[in-house]
Chain A
């Protein structure tokens, strides 16, 4: 008997239509977290619809799926900005003034840590450690890491992405 079920996202309301197979779910135990990771990789966050789907396919109650989502820092229940700024507040960054940079970023982008700017460009997320302690203080913008930051350098980086986002918007239009 073929024990492989394929999950397709796309039929559900509120999700973009996708015709690709996102993953194969082999009905192995322990697949819940990888399933959630794939959903988030695809949509940037885990929507209610996605929770319903995953629950339906795995047979794990929605409440339990939700419990797992909220336990781990990686999972988000709301959409992300175009640029995810992970700002490190690990020990090494902390002794090198990371708190000040976090405050500066919140100020500059008019948001609270964890939030997304109104225009959907930036999401700021303080993280416990990016493992780049020798270059503290450090931030990561999407997959790009920046080390040895100063307030001035951080402002320059923000400006760079702002320009990039603005240019991108013009292209779209």
Chain B
């Protein structure tokens, strides 16, 4: 028995991985076990089964799921010491077992090291061909050849817009000027997306190596990583990776004894979604309010400090070492049309297996939702997926055959986006969903251009009145008209795409809008003011918890007897639902 590895990404830690690590160390010490190493690694992808622990010896690897500290002693005694795995808790044995379906359709390129290495150990990274791509590039390739290779691989920006990376680099290289910069956009702001966080936490060196390759290609000597402050763990891993890479000579002057020098600076974001937009990000690094400016000039010509700058996303960079080492062909062999390689998705919402998946481009939405992620929670009817966050849209279940491909996704009205995929079942109200995203973009609007600042507010007001049951005839048409105008006239990507969640839900779920407006009814039984709260007399034990907390005195009943809610007095605040320990209060 050699190693016990615990996944301590943010998701693992949130589920209690820190306690599990300490418990393993404690139990191993109590039994005076020698020769067993407790290691930590990043996100293993199967966030739905956190805390994840892998027990491995020379021949086999067993992955345990949902490990709590009280399960640790049995794993140590029976498995680590006794040699017999605790079968009931094993998810995977050498990649086989009940959860193997989750991994079968996946193809790990970006996530090749996530969950396999200790992100704080540069030696772990080196042992898995780390910095070999950098070595190959510096010793055997000219910058032009690197750009040629990346262009041939068909890699497109994974931050959302899908601009070909090779072309971006070619422009930055060709731009006049000696001083050039490369920036890693790690300001992952889409609510519902956590791919970049997982990569930064689990494999920070691959991002640095990608940046080095890019810096060599465009001729940059300095770079920035702009990472959001809400990711303390990612920042910690990046700091340690930069530190180690500098000490080993992969960053700094005369890297690997060549003429190539490169330094990188970590910039902590201060909380503004719009800073994911490249010109706003540059303004923020320069210490200003993060407001976008009109393009052109594009950053490739005039970026940070007015110098040519290439801005690429975390996932884009993480792909690069693999492409350099394996060649453009294997990468381009995956996918369809103009979408090549793989894409990482963060699966969340009402889906059984939430977590991180990396699939080859070209597989369908249905294959991801059902094949990889096992369908919806409790097998409720699958209604839609939301892709692209506040800039994207809802794709209905009827279009589940749509392939993961930039152009095909665009045709649905959504966008590929950075990779957040939120699965919705019949309990999600699509009007409320649209309102939620618009509230978000409205909040995050920088206020520079009128159509975004005021237009999105007007749209939000209309949506608010619809979900409150005060919608009017003509509201849907008004939303569509406003949306089209904002799309045409807003000055940056945030504003231009802000109407997308509304426009796609109108396109596919117009009946839900009509139900809210005409019948004052929420088909998903989600909008608080359009439902009635009812106590299920079979489940209510008359504990009176809800009675005490009902501010409007709408709940009646004797102790130990089923209670009733007075629908006239009820103000629909929903507080009783949060009080009930028995799930006895339902929405009708």
Contacts and interface: CB of A to CB of B under 8 A. Distances in A.
B192 A127 contact: no
Contact of B574 (A92, A103, A134): A103
Interface string A89-111: 11110111000110110010000
A72 B11 contact: no
Nearest to B10: A132
Contacts of A118: none
Given A91-B386, A127-B230, A133 B15 contact: no
A135 B47 contact: yes
Contact of A95 (B285, B347, B424, B579): B424
Contact of B272 (A31, A73, A148): A73
Given A36-B270, A37-B268, A129 B581 contact: no
Interface in B347-365: 347-350, 354-356
Interface string B263-298: 000011111110000000000111111110000000
Contact of B436 (A37, A74, A94, A100): A94
Interface stretch (B132-140, B183-191, B502-510): B183-191
Given A73-B272, A94-B436, A95-B350, A145 B305 contact: no
A68 B288 contact: yes
Query: How big is chain A's contact interface, by range?
Result: 35 or more
A29 B47 contact: no
Interface string B416-431: 0000101010001000
Contact of A131 (B10, B428, B444, B573): B10
A154 to B, nearest CB: 9
A134 B197 CA distance: 13
Interface string A146-161: 1110011000000000
A29 B305 contact: yes
A138 B230 CA distance: 13
Contacts of A143: 232
A148 B578 contact: no
A129 B390 CA distance: 12
A136 interface: yes
B191 A128 contact: yes
A61 interface: no
Given A128-B440, A145-B14, A104 B578 contact: yes
A73 to B, nearest CB: 3
Contact of B194 (A33, A75, A133): A133
B194 A132 contact: yes
Contacts of A151: 577-579
A95 B291 CA distance: 30
Interface in B330-384: 346-350, 354-356
A14 interface: no
A72 B268 CA distance: 12
Contacts of A130: 10, 230
Nearest to B46: A134
Given A29-B286, A131-B10, A132-B11, A103 B575 contact: yes
B389 interface: yes
A38 B288 CA distance: 16
Contacts of A128: 189, 191, 273, 440, 443-444
B355 A134 contact: yes
A10 to B, nearest CB: 24
Nearest to A147: B14
A112 to B, nearest CB: 15
A75 B270 contact: yes
A41 to B, nearest CB: 10
B230 A131 contact: yes
B462 interface: no
A94 B429 CA distance: 11
Interface string A64-82: 0001100111110000000
A32 interface: yes
Nearest to B194: A131
A13 to B, nearest CB: 26
Interface string B386-397: 100100000000
Interface residues of B, number: 64
A146 B15 CA distance: 7
A99 to B, nearest CB: 8
B409 to A, nearest CB: 17
B230 A30 contact: no
A34 B428 contact: no
A30 to B, nearest CB: 4
Contact of A100 (B14, B229, B578): B578
Given A134-B194, A135-B11, A151-B579, A33 B188 contact: no
A91 B191 contact: yes
A33 B349 contact: no
Contacts of B190: 129
A70 to B, nearest CB: 9
Nearest to B425: A95
B515 interface: no
Interface in B170-211: 188-194, 197
Indicate the member of A74, A89, A133 with the most B CB atoms within 10 Å.
Answer: A133
B48 interface: yes
A74 B270 contact: yes
Nearest to B428: A95
A15 B158 CA distance: 45
Contacts of B444: 128
B190 to A, nearest CB: 7
Nearest to B288: A68
Interface string B233-273: 00000000000000000000000000000000001111111
Contact of A37 (B15, B270, B355, B446): B270
A143 B10 CA distance: 11
B50 interface: yes
Contact of B285 (A30, A37, A67, A71): A30
Indicate the member of B272, B288, B290, B577 with the most A CB atoms within 10 Å.
Answer: B288
10 contacts: A29-B286, A100-B577, A129-B189, A129-B191, A129-B193, A129-B230, A131-B230, A133-B349, A134-B48, A151-B579
Q: Can you list the 3 inter-chain pairs with the closest CB atoms, starting with the nearest?
A: A134-B47, A90-B191, A73-B271
Interface of A: 29-34, 36-37, 67-68, 71-75, 89-92, 94-96, 100-101, 103-104, 107, 127-136, 138, 143, 145-148, 151-152
Given A91-B192, A91-B389, A133-B192, 17 more contacts: A29-B287, A34-B267, A36-B270, A72-B271, A73-B271, A74-B269, A92-B191, A95-B433, A100-B577, A103-B575, A130-B10, A132-B14, A133-B354, A134-B194, A145-B10, A145-B13, A147-B14
Interface of B: 10-11, 13-15, 47-48, 50, 188-194, 197, 229-232, 267-273, 284-291, 305, 346-350, 354-356, 386, 389, 420, 422, 424, 428, 433, 436-437, 440, 443-444, 446, 573-575, 577-579, 581
